[in-house]
Amino acid sequence: SLAGEQVALGFLDFFDQPTQFDHLGGEVLIWFAPGRLAMQGHDLAATFAASAVRGEFSFGRPSDPLEQRLSMRLRLSDIDGRAALAYVPRELPQALLHGLDQAVVGGHVDVADIVYHGHLRTLPGLPMRQVELNIKLHDGIVRFHPDWPPAMGVVGRVKYTGSGTTGEFDTGNLGG
C-alpha cells in the first residue's frame, strides 16, 4: 500500500517533470527478475493544488528496449487548462503537441481522461502505441486558428484518438 503526503511521482519518459502531490494513495506492486523490472499501480488517488487525479498503470521493462511497455489510465479533475497540458504524454505526434500548446489559451478542465497503451520505444511507421485523450472543459479560451481571434467562454468536449481530433462545443463566442 502507498499512502503519503508531499510525494513526487513521474514517468519521465512521457512527461517533462514529476508531479508534486499533496497526497498520494493506492496499491503499487514491484517485480524484479534478472533483466526485468515490472510495476503495477491500481486504485491510485492523489490531490495537488485544487486538482485531483485517479488511475492505474502497468509497466514492463525487460532488457530488450523494443519490448518495454506501459499501460496507463488517468483521470484528472478540476484543473486549469494550461496546467493540464503538463499531463499530455509528450510521446504524441509533435504537430499535435504544438497544436494543443497554441490552441489552449486558458479555461478550466472539468475532467480529462488520458489512456496510453503500448511500447515505450517505437519503430517508425509501425503502430506500436495507442493514446486517447477526452477532455471536458468550461470557460475555455481556445485559439482554433492562428489568424483568428480566440474563442471565449467555450464549453464542450475535445477528443483525440488514433483516427483524429474532434471537438463538440455547447457554447462559445468567436468574435473580433
DSSP 8-state code for residue 155? E
What is the per-residue pLDDT across 116-173, written as a single tens digit (0 to 9) for each?
898 877 778 877 888 888 999 999 888 878 888 888 999 999 888 878 788 898 998 8
Q: Average the pLDDT over each of 21-25, 107-111, 126-130, 135-139 and give the range with the smallest value.
A: 126-130
41, 31 in Cβ contact below 8 A?
Answer: no
Q: If 0-12 CB within 10 Å is exposed, 13-18 middle and 19+ buried, where does residue 160 land?
A: buried
Contacts of 111 (CB under 8 A, 6+ apart): 75, 76, 77, 134, 135, 136
What is the per-residue pLDDT across 43-92, written as a single tens digit (0 to 9) for each?
999 998 889 999 999 999 999 988 889 899 999 999 988 888 877 777 77
The secondary structure element, H or E, covering residue 101 is: helix 94-103
Query: What is the reported pLDDT for 119?
Result: 85
Residue that is written with C-alpha cell 489568424 in the block: 147
* Cα–Cα distance for residue pair 66/129, rounded to 1 Å: 12
Task: Give 90 or 26, the one with higher predicted confidence.
Answer: 26
